[in-house]
Structure 1
Amino acid sequence: MESRISIISIIVEDTSVASEINELLHQFGGYIIGRMGIPCKERGISIICVVLEAPGDVVSSLSGKIGMISGVSTKTVTSKSK
């Protein structure tokens, strides 16, 4: 399967689960090009953007695992070009 560039946007409403998210990101670290975290203290949430170069099944796996964590929402965008 061909790799594409994807972005996973993550909103963390329960910051106590940060270690679970970081562990998953570490497991998929070989595919991660970069990541940016933005704490939004006034709302009590954190926003994370992760850019990957990976096959679709890898991106879906990571996004799905992160999205199953309570208090976390994800959305993924993938490039059309291969």
Structure 2
Amino acid sequence: MEKRLGIIGIFIQDRSKSAPAVNKVLGEYSSIVVGRMGIPFREKGVNCISLIIDATTDELGALTGKLGMLNGVRCKSLLA
């Protein structure tokens, strides 16, 4: 399969509960992550992570599927 450039947006509601699980999943897929930026948005009570990835559609689906199953975590993705 062909690798494509993409973006994943991750929103974490409760950092103390969900962040360790999110970081564990991201560590498992670190080989497809090109860049990562995290911003705490305290006024809204949410933490945002943006990822730039270079992945196949299968890899993207596996990563976002695992993230989406975590409590308090929502993610959306886009491939170029």
The correspondence of residues 47-58 of structure 1 with structure 2, limited to 5 A, is 47-58=48-59
Once superposed, what is the RMSD of the aligned Cα atoms? 0.7
Unaligned runs of 5+ residues in structure 2 are none
Question: Residue 60 in 1 paired to residue 61 in 2?
Answer: yes
The normalised TM-score by structure 2 is 0.95
| Cα deviations by residue, 1:3-24 (Å, 9 ceiling, x for unpaired) | 0011110111121210000011
Size of the aligned set, in residue pairs, is: 79
The normalised TM-score by structure 1 is 0.92
**AA at the equivalent of 2:38:** G
Percent identity reads: 37
**AA at the equivalent of 1:63:** T
| Higher share of residues assigned helix | 2
Q: Which runs of 4+ in 1 moved over 2 A?
A: none
Question: Residue 19 in 1 paired to residue 41 in 2?
Answer: no
- 1:25 deviates by 0.5
